[in-house]
Amino acid sequence: MSQPVAGDPPRLALPAGPHAMPVPAVLAALGVPDAEGLRDDEVAARRALFGPNAIAARRAASALRLLLHQFAGPVVYLLGAAAGLAFWFGELEEGSAILAVLAINAAIGFATELKAARSIEALRALGGHAARVRREGHVRLVSAEELVPGDIVLLDAGDAVPADLRLVEAAQMAADESTLTGESVPVEKHTRPVPRETRLGDRASMLFKGTSVTRGSGAGVVVATGLATELGRVTQLSLEADAGSSPLERKLARLSAQLVWATLALAVAIAVVGLARGQELLLTLESAIALAVAAIPEGLPIVATLALARGMWRMARQNALIERLSAVETLGATTVILTDKTGTLTENRMTVRRLATPSGEIEVATGAHGSAGHAEAAARLAGDRQASLLLRVAVLCNDASLDHAGHHASGDPMEIALLRAGHHAGLKRRDLLAERPLVRKHAFDAATRMMATVHESGDGFLVAVKGAPEAVLAVTTRVIADHGDVALDEHARGEWLAHAGRLGIHGLRVLACAMKLQTGPDGAPYEGLVLVGLIGMEDPARADVPQAIRDCHRAGIRVVMVTGDHAVTARAIARAVGLAGETGEVVEGKAIAGLLANPAALRDVSIFARVSPAEKLALVRACQAAGEVVAMTGDGVNDAPALRQADIGVAMGLRGTDVAREAAAMVLLDDAFPTIVKAIRQGRVIFGNIRRFVAYLLSCNLSEVMVVGAAVLTGLPLPLLPLQILYLNLVTDVFPAFALAMGEGEAGILSRPPRDPREPLVGRAQWLAIVAQGAALTAATFAALAVARWLALDPRQSVTVTFLTLAFGQLWHAFDMHDFRAGFLANEATRNAWLWAASALCTVLLAVPPYLPPAAQLLDLAPLSGPMWATVLACSLAPLVVTQVVMETARRRPRARASPAE
With CA atoms as reference, report the closest residue to 454 among 516, 511, 391, 535: 516
687 and 248 Cβ atoms separated by less than 8 Å = yes
Please give the single-letter amino acid code of residue 641: P
Residue 189: beta bridge partners? 173
Torsion-angle region of 148 (φ positive above 0: left; ψ -120 to 50: alpha; else: beta): beta
Q: What are φ and ψ of residue 348, in 5° steps?
A: 55, 40
557 and 336 Cβ atoms separated by less than 8 Å = yes
Q: Computed from CA positions of residues 761, 733, 736, 741, in that sequence, does the dihedral angle turn out positive or negative?
A: positive
Identify whether 340 is a catalytic site residue.
yes
CA distances from 811 to 182, 784, 846 (A): 55, 16, 10
Please give the single-letter amino acid code of residue 401: S
Cβ atoms within 10 A of the Cβ of 407, count? Answer: 11
Buried b / exposed e over 149-161, threshold 16 CB at 10 Å, is bbbbbebebebbb
User: Rounded to whole angstroms, how far apart are CA atoms 538 and 292?
Assistant: 65
131 and 152 Cβ atoms separated by less than 8 Å = no
User: Rounded to whole angstroms, how far apart are CA atoms 355 and 418?
Assistant: 11
Please identify which of the residues 151, 340, 445, 635 carries the catalytic annotation: 340
CB neighbour list of residue 142: distance below 8 Å, 6 or more residues apart? 130, 131, 133
User: Rounded to whole angstroms, how far apart are CA atoms 370 and 377?
Assistant: 11
CA atoms within 13 A on the CB side of 808: 23
CA atoms within 13 A on the CB side of 557: 28
With CA atoms as reference, report the closest residue to 310 among 744, 839, 648, 665: 744
Farthest-apart Cα atoms in the chain, separation: 121
With CA atoms as reference, report the closest residue to 615 among 629, 600, 628, 602: 602
CB neighbour list of residue 846: distance below 8 Å, 6 or more residues apart? 732, 804, 807, 808, 811
Q: 214: burial class by Cβ within 10 Å (0-12, 13-18, 19+)?
A: buried
CB neighbour list of residue 606: distance below 8 Å, 6 or more residues apart? 558, 559, 560, 561, 574, 579, 580, 584, 585
480 and 530 Cβ atoms separated by less than 8 Å = yes
CA distances from 552 to 607, 648, 704, 712 (A): 16, 16, 43, 54
User: Rounded to whole angstroms, how far apart are CA atoms 898 and 113?
Assistant: 35
Q: What are φ and ψ of residue 603, in 5° steps?
A: -70, -20
The SS3 assignment for 215 reads: strand
User: Rounded to whole angstroms, how far apart are CA atoms 167 and 578?
Assistant: 41
843 and 811 Cβ atoms separated by less than 8 Å = yes
What's the DSSP call for residue 736? H
User: Rounded to whole angstroms, how far apart are CA atoms 803 and 871?
Assistant: 12
With CA atoms as reference, report the closest residue to 652 among 641, 638, 636: 636
Catalytic residues: 340
